[in-house]
Amino acid sequence: MDDKADQYSNTAMKKLISINDLKVGMFLEAEAVTEQKDGEEFNYLSALNATGIGGTGKRARLTGRMHEKVANNGGVYITSENLIESLRSTGLSLVTIDTEKGLDLPEDVKPLTDPNRKPPPEGRLVHFDEEIEQAREVRDSTTDTLKTALEDVAEGKEMDVQKVQEAGTVISESILRNVDAMVSLTRIKQFDPYTAMHSMNVCTLVTAMAMHDGTDPGQLPMITTAALLHDVGKTRVPLEILNKPGRFELHELQEMRKHASHSGDIMREDGSFSAEQISIAEQHHEMLDGSGYPAALRGDAIHYYARLTAVADVYDALTAKRVYKSAMPMYQALMKIHKGKGTEFDERGVDLFIKTLGLYPVGSLVEINTGEQAIVCEPNPNDSRKPVVALLTQPNKKPRVAPYVISLAVRSQADGREIVKVLDPDKIGADVEKLMADVDQRGERTDRKVRTS
């Protein structure tokens, strides 16, 4: 361990841990919250630097004396298994402990974020590289769940709603740990008849937008599940239309457009979804100016989260490759969405979307002021102009032997480098997924422990 890492470890008293590792004797970081309800005061315990969205939705009540203690101490000393159980039942899954005020983790249990590094950027509980593998697993497993659900509906069977709802919860949890990890994976597109992958992308983006919007975390799974199922109505569109490689004839287009109403019908018939969720799915092709379908609704008549879904849906469709069209580069699609701000698309929705993707979404090919070509590997939420990139070529465009990963935010690594333009992968004949895999396997990285971004 070098000096810099040492310096951090000495100050690393606060550790993010799974609630399963919380033990009697530990000190939980929390604040005491007072709320007024029907003229009465209620005192609650609110865990700090924590996440959790399942559970009973109940909150841990505090007596007056406890309330004062928590407020004075900045948390609560865990005195019993019962207390842990009641915290778990409120839905908490990750919590932060202070090891100076209570017991530490056993030696063999690692905290969820490396305390030897600088804390993660604002709004993130763990670093991007600490979440990305888990995000990939969540994405794979929930896409499978969704595929099965869509196939079941297509065959006239009932979908396993509980599984789909669980998928909504795990996606939301990953997004609450580090939103940028799941979002970075939305660049991956694949065509399947019922568009499970597209639905996965849209649902990730909408959940991330809602998170950036400050939505109550407890609300996220509701939105995530609705967005996951927004295109479930495609299962009622004849396959020969759904799979048609070219452009649609008018009657085919009309048939295709019915999918939004079908989505609403399927969810209504199932009986497990709220009116809000049905609106989100049914209205995802409505446009702010009334130019959308099926009901040509305008403005506020469209459900807020359906307006957010519309932005993510159009973006994912534009950046997807189809037999009849090439993929639009991400920055061009972002510009197109921005043009429609306030006319087709909800203004706030567009702002949230841009905040979600950042200036250079992961997978963007860029040119550096040195002439080198690079690919964006990790966003930088503190300064989106300076992400982590892998240098792919020399200044003379000759490929490097192995990609070299640097953070443009770290002066010693960037060495004066800045992004000057975005490149179109099609124009330079680049396969982004292949390049990203190459960076993963052969990329030479500087020591992560001393990274300051």
x-or-dash pattern for Fe ion, window 393-412, by CB under 5 A? --------------------
Residue 231: CB minimum distance to Fe ion, A:
5
Encode 298-325: b = buried (16+ Cβ within 10 Å), e = exposed.
eeeebbbbbbbbbbbbbbbbbbbeeeee
**Site stretch for Fe ion (CB under 5 A), options 226-234, 330-338, 343-351, 383-391:** 226-234
**Site stretch for Fe ion (CB under 5 A), options 134-142, 228-236, 394-402, 441-449:** 228-236
- Number of residues interacting with Fe ion: please give it, by CB under 5 A: 1
Of residues 266 and 375, the one with the C-beta less far from Fe ion: 266
Of residues 285 and 386, the one with the C-beta less far from Fe ion: 285
Of residues 273 and 404, the one with the C-beta less far from Fe ion: 273
Ranked by CB distance to Fe ion, the top (closest) residue is 231
The residue behind tokens 């972002």 is 334
Of residues 33 and 256, the one with the C-beta less far from Fe ion: 256
Length of the chain: 453
Of residues 53 and 320, the one with the C-beta less far from Fe ion: 320
CB distance 376 to 366 below 8 Å:
yes
Query: Three-state SS for 249?
Result: coil
Residue 281: CB minimum distance to Fe ion, A:
9
Instruction: Check residue 282 for interaction with Fe ion (CB under 5 A).
Output: no
Residue 306: CB minimum distance to Fe ion, A:
11
Closest CA to 20 of 86, 83, 76, 94: 94
Of residues 93 and 279, the one with the C-beta less far from Fe ion: 279
Residue of 231, 282, 286, 346 that binds Fe ion (CB under 5 A): 231
Cα–Cα distances in Å, from 284 out to 137, 154, 259, 311, 343? 27, 20, 10, 9, 16
Residue 201: CB minimum distance to Fe ion, A:
12
Residue 263: CB minimum distance to Fe ion, A:
8
The pair of three-digit structure tokens given for residue 154, joined into one six-digit string = 């297509």
**Site stretch for Fe ion (CB under 5 A), options 27-35, 230-238, 328-336, 442-450:** 230-238
Residue 256: CB minimum distance to Fe ion, A:
9
Closest CA to 293 of 316, 273, 313: 313
Q: Give the 3-state secondary structure of 420-437.
A: EEEECCCCCCCCHHHHHH
**Site stretch for Fe ion (CB under 5 A), options 201-209, 227-235, 296-304, 361-369:** 227-235
The residue behind tokens 């599940």 is 225
**What single-letter amino acid sits at 348?**
R
Separation between Cα atoms, residue 263 and residue 227, nearest integer Å:
11
CB distance 353 to 209 below 8 Å:
yes
Of residues 131 and 316, the one with the C-beta less far from Fe ion: 316
Cα–Cα distances in Å, from 67 out to 58, 72, 96? 17, 9, 19
**Site stretch for Fe ion (CB under 5 A), options 47-55, 90-98, 132-140, 224-232:** 224-232
Q: Give the 3-state secondary structure of 365-413.
A: EEEECCCCEEEEEECCCCCCCCCEEEEEECCCCCEEEEEEEEECCCHHH
Contact residues for Fe ion, defined by CB under 5 A: 231
